[in-house]
């Protein structure tokens, strides 16, 4: 079994300091949270940009500031930008971070009802456009899937040559409007992808650690972080992203599964060469 690749989703676009004061907004808060998460065992950092007041943004220059600050402290770590942004953003707006030629980015593979009137829109043409832009710039991508239909669409586009191998899936489960986060759900998704594809599981809220346990036991990889879950355990707010990463490291140790370094993660995920 491969070593465990841990991704830390630092802030997301929706969670706030009102919900948990540890959610990072500023450039320095992002850099500090990143450094702590890497020290705890994260090989990949999933980055959303926020302004100092917490507003989400896909602004290229804001991303540049955040990524530069993180690289200064974590030069070997895989930085994965979000092209999801926040609901209501245009395709062009969401693409801005790709202009910085990051090593990796998420590629959302379907539309989702986020609750109320919020719809996270990812049309087929959106997905094709994002995939093409990433391919043209040499940006490695992870296929972010919230539902079985998202997996099916990604595989159909792969058969057409529009989404290219290696296929790396991120199953984000427990989101309002998407698949639930029971073990049966991730097992179903895992059985739906090619044998040579890798997968990571991001359980939202109370699903975070049960699904991390599933992935640890079954050869998958794990995403944790304040974007997905604000609590270390029921009723106890996480003090930091690093605390969530450390909990997964301890879970893996109990199963005898070693943690991948960033360089090992690049090999495990079959990531090509990249120059900053």
Rounded to whole angstroms, how far apart are CA atoms 144 and 109?
6
Question: Strand 118-120 and strand 112-115: pairing?
Answer: antiparallel
- For 81, the token pair is 């930008």
| pLDDT digit string (tens) for the chain, length 276 residues | 899 999 999 999 999 999 999 999 999 999 999 999 999 999 999 999 999 999 999 999 999 999 999 999 999 999 999 999 888 899 999 999 999 999 999 999 999 998 889 999 999 999 999 999 999 999 999 999 999 999 999 999 999 999 999 999 999 999 989 999 999 999 999 999 999 999 999 999 999 999 999 999 999 999 999 999 999 999 999 999 999 999 999 999 999 999 999 999 999 999 974 433
List the CATH number of the domain containing 218.
Answer: 3.20.20.70
User: In terms of residue numbers, what domain contains 120?
Assistant: 6-268
The answer to whether residue 249 is domain-embedded is yes
Establish if 275 belongs to a structural domain. Answer: no
**Number of structural domains in the chain:** 1
Cis-peptide, bond into residue 142, ω within 30° of zero: no
| Structural domain contains residue 1 | no
Q: Is residue 87 part of a domain?
A: yes
In a domain? residue 276: no
Q: Is residue 115 part of a domain?
A: yes
CA distances from 78 to 75, 125, 130, 261 (A): 9, 28, 20, 10
Q: Return phi, psi of residue 211, to 5°.
A: -75, -30
Within a domain: 273: no
CA angle 34, 207, 13 (to 5 degrees): 45
Count of CB atoms situated within 10 Å of the CB of 254: 9
Q: What is the pLDDT of residues 67-112, one digit of tens each?
A: 999 999 999 999 999 999 888 899 999 999 999 999 999 999 999 9
């Amino acid at each position: 079994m491969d070593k465990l690749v841990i991704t830390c989703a630092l802030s997301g676009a929706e969670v706030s300091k009102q919900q948990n004061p540890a959610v990072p907004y500023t450039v320095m808060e992002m850099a500090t949270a990143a450094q702590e998460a890497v020290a705890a065992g994260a090989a990949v950092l999933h980055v959303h940009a926020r302004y100092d007041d917490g507003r989400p943004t896909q602004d290229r220059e804001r991303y540049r500031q955040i990524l530069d600050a993180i690289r200064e402290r974590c030069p070997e770590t895989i930085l994965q930008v979000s092209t999801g942004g926040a609901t209501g953003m245009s395709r062009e707006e969401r693409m801005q971070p790709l202009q910085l030629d990051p090593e990796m980015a998420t590629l959302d593979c379907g539309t989702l009802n986020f609750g109320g009137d919020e719809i996270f829109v990812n049309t087929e043409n959106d997905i094709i456009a994002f995939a093409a832009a990433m391919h043209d710039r040499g940006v490695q991508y992870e296929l972010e899937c919230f539902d079985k239909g998202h997996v099916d669409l990604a595989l159909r586009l792969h058969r057409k040559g529009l989404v290219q191998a290696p296929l790396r899936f991120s199953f984000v489960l427990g989101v309002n409007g998407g698949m639930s986060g029971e073990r049966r759900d991730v097992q179903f998704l895992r059985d739906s992808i090619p044998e040579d594809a890798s997968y990571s599981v991001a359980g939202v809220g109370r699903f975070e650690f049960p699904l991390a346990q599933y992935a640890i036991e079954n050869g998958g990889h794990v995403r944790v972080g304040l974007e997905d879950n604000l609590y270390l355990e029921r009723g106890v707010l996480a003090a930091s992203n690093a605390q969530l990463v450390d909990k997964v490291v301890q879970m893996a140790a109990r199963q005898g599964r070693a943690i991948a370094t960033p360089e090992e993660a690049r090999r495990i995920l079959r990531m090509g060469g990249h120059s900053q």
